Amino acid sequence: MDVSCFLCGAPGASSAIADHGNRCNIACSSARCGKYAITSGAISRLESGGPEKSVLVEMVRRANLHSKVLEIFVAGDGLLQATELPRG
């Protein structure tokens, strides 16, 4: 399914639902962004004015340069966290 990127806003990002609808795997079409995984909770935080998205875009780009995927999620304290995962 094509959506606008949750981080950079570029149109035409492809998304695949995973974990019974709790996570989206995104492949952004923008050269400045990339592939990442994001939970539904993290999407809600971003839509309600969460952290600066440009920082997350840079983190996605850097993870992709190292053949990794950034996973963005909401931690137990309610803050967004990100971790690099091997591409699978």
By CB atoms closer than 10 A (0-12, 13-18, 19+), residue 13 is buried
pLDDT digits (tens, 9 = 90+) for 8-54: 999 999 999 999 889 999 999 999 999 999 999 999 999 888 778 99
User: What residue ranges do the domains of the chain occupy?
Assistant: 2-86
**Whole-angstrom distance, CA of residue 88 vs CA of residue 77:** 28
The per-residue pLDDT for 87 is 82
Q: Which residues pair with residue 72 across a beta bridge?
A: 38, 82
